Amino acid sequence: MIETHVSDIARTIQLAIAPVFLLTALGTILGVFSNRLGRIVDRTRVLSDRMHDSQHAQQHAAMRGELDQLAGRRKLVNYAIGCATAAALFVCLLIAAAFFGSLLELNVMLPVTAVALLESIELLAAAARNFADRCVAGIVATDRGPALVEQGLMLATALAPEIGYDAAATLAKEAFRTGRTIRELAVERGIAPDRLDELLDPARMTEPGLDGGAGGG
């Protein structure tokens, strides 16, 4: 029969809680990396489409340079995602071995678990520093972001409750074909500018609820 002491139970609880926080941090970082990778892929797709558009021929050199930068960032983010995933799997395997391999008699497995935990924390910290130094540091907010939002075709979704889905889809197709913005085409259609300011407000679309625009839940 296995004797269970209060100190053993306390150590078991501590050992169980520590990986939870570590895995939560890993999950959060993976979410950030995935979001960053999605933005890079979306921007790459937009630039690739414009490279084949004769209307943007004068900007091909600048777009090609930006595509090269995005390719480098994509490789770095993929590497960071791989490191974070490997760290999470390693923690899970070590914790499983510590619990089941020793039948909760943790005295022998505690040093191994501690080493694995410290190594995982060190790897996680190195990945976060690398990502901050190579991807985040030096990023400065400019007018480019709001301009890209204004040029985005997704703004047509906010007009669907106002003019109907078919009309909004037609505006989106025309905007893609001509390179004009949804706002410009909607003004020509007769929608008042002040009403457009309300409908096409990106911040309002991120708010929850029925009053949050097209992005509301």
- Position 42 scores a pLDDT of 84
Structure tokens at 155: 């703004």
pLDDT per 10-residue tile (average), the chain, 217 residues: 51 63 76 82 81 68 82 83 80 68 54 76 86 84 83 86 88 89 88 87 76 46
- How far apart CA 7 and CA 110 sit, in angstroms, is 13
Question: Which phi and psi angles does 3 have, rounded to 5°?
Answer: -85, 130
**Residue 173: strand, helix, or coil:** helix
Q: Is 141 left (phi over 0), alpha (psi -120 to 50) or beta?
A: beta
Residue 137: exposure state from Cβ atoms within 10 A (0-12, 13-18, ≥19): exposed
Query: What superfamily in CATH does domain 144-215 come from?
Result: Fumarase/aspartase (C-terminal domain) (1.10.40.30)
| Residue 157, pLDDT score | 86
Query: In the prediction, which pLDDT does 70 show?
Result: 84
Token pair 């395997």 is at which residue? 93
